[in-house]
Amino acid sequence: MDEIGDLIKTIEELRERLEKLFESRGAVDQEVMAASQILDAVVNEYYRILKHKAEEKGG
């Protein structure tokens, strides 16, 4: 699988984990907050790569 495909898979796995943690612990639990931050970082990396690839194609 390519880099973007790997990131999409990771994002989905992290999103599912975050949902389960949120349901069982609530929004203010430290583990939920940490999982949310990890998911945010991976999503940001995904968009950074997409932007970079778009810039390579366009410019």
Can you give the CATH number for the domain in which 43 is found?
4.10.280
Q: Across residues 31-59, what is the average pLDDT?
A: 93
Domain span at 10: 3-58
- Residue 13 — φ and ψ, nearest 5°? -65, -45
Query: What pTM, to 2 d.p., does this model score?
Result: 0.80
CA atoms within 13 A on the CB side of 2: 5
Task: Give pLDDT tens digits for 19-29.
Answer: 999 999 988 89
| % of the chain beyond a pLDDT of 70 | 97
- Residue type present at position 35: A
Number of domains in the chain: 1
